[in-house]
Amino acid sequence: MKRRTIIYIIILLIAAMTGGDAFGAKPKKQQRRTRQKTTKVVKKKGKSKAKAKTKTVRAAKPAPDPRLNDPDYDPFLQCEDTCSHVHGIDLSRYQGDVFWETVGENTKMAYVYLKATEGGDRIDPKFERNINLAHRYGLKVGSYHFFRPKTPLQKQLENFTAQCLPGEQDLIPMIDVETLGGLPVDQFCDSLLTFLGMIEEVYHQKPLVYTFRNFYNWHLVGKLDDYQLMIAMYLDEEPVLADERDITLWQYTGKGRIVGINGYVDKSRFLGRHGLREIRFRHYN
């Protein structure tokens, strides 16, 4: 009996030392490792599914332009090809040498304003060539001066009148107004109105004033009621000024194209019922 007891005790001690293998049980440490491996496998599967979902996301294709299905659609058509308004252009040295014979054949371009001068001493180097050839090929021609508010007005007047000769003009002079020149608004307006009066005295008719819509709305509202306006605004809709006053001409793009001129060109057209007769240069003997 004692011998059996001793043998049983020895067996229990061996079982305790081997973690229960003697009785077919798994050690606890091994079971934790198995669970850890199982957890890792689950995480890997989760990542794989996420990647698969990401790959299936596609950017939506933009809808095709419906006009491309129209057999009559021509992407090269210009505004002047599709409307009945009277169109024109304005040019300076930036357009280089213009092929006036080709431009003259474009009957949609009825008039052209050419830059003559700027400030007190600048003369556009292409002016003389441009005005001679524009006349030769049938366009109605006007000349414009870029106004510099700080430059002495008499000096600007002499510069412009030396180039803008009445006998060469079909259209009234145009004054290009785009900058305050660092002057306070009131002082700028006084300078501009004085200069416009000086131009009128020389040519016996009020000049056309060119400016941008925003520049007019910020600085010139109510100041130019006696003058016709060419307003530049490069949007699809026709411009409306803050004081809702009448606009004679609208420069609708600064990136127009026309056969005979390399690069971009400014294009304009008359608004409403306005026409060339309103800006015709009146010649006095």
The domain locations on the chain are 2-43, 82-279
The CA distance from 204 to 227, in Å, is 14
Q: How far is CA 117 from CA 94, 124, 162, 172, 196, in A?
A: 14, 6, 9, 15, 15
Q: pLDDT digits over 149-191, tens only?
A: 999 999 999 999 999 999 999 999 999 999 999 999 999 999 9
DSSP the chain: -HHHHHHHHHHHHHHHHTTTGGGTPPPHHHHHHHHHHHHHHHHHHHHHHHHHHHHT--PPPPPPPGGGG-TT--TT--HHHH--S-EEEEE-GGG-S--HHHHHH-TTEEEEEEEEEETTTEE-TTHHHHHHHHHHTT-EEEEEEE--TTS-HHHHHHHHHHHS-GGG-SB--EEE----TT--HHHHHHHHHHHHHHHHHHHSSPPEEEEEHHHHHHHTTTT-TTS-EEEE--SSSPP--TT----SEEEEEEEE--TT--S-EEEEEE-TT--GGGGBPPP--
The CA distance from 92 to 124, in Å, is 7
pLDDT band of residue 246 (cuts 50, 70, 90) is: very high
If you average pLDDT over residues 42-51, what whole number do you get?
46
Average pLDDT, the chain: 82
If you average pLDDT over residues 50-69, what whole number do you get?
55
Per-residue pLDDT at 267 exceeds 90: yes
Pick the CATH number of 82-279 from 3.30.70.920, 3.20.20.80, 1.20.1250.20, 3.30.70.60: 3.20.20.80
Per-residue pLDDT at 77 exceeds 90: no
Residue with the larger pLDDT of the pair 38 and 70: 70
pLDDT of the residue at 91:
93
pTM of the complete model: 0.72
Per-residue pLDDT at 21 exceeds 50: no
Q: pLDDT digits over 202-231, tens only?
A: 999 999 999 999 999 999 999 999 999 999
Above pLDDT 70, what percent of the chain? 69
Q: pLDDT digits over 88-145, tens only?
A: 999 999 888 888 888 887 657 889 999 999 999 999 999 999 999 999 998 999 999 9
pLDDT band of residue 41 (cuts 50, 70, 90) is: very low
The CA distance from 230 to 207, in Å, is 11
Residue with the larger pLDDT of the pair 85 and 196: 196
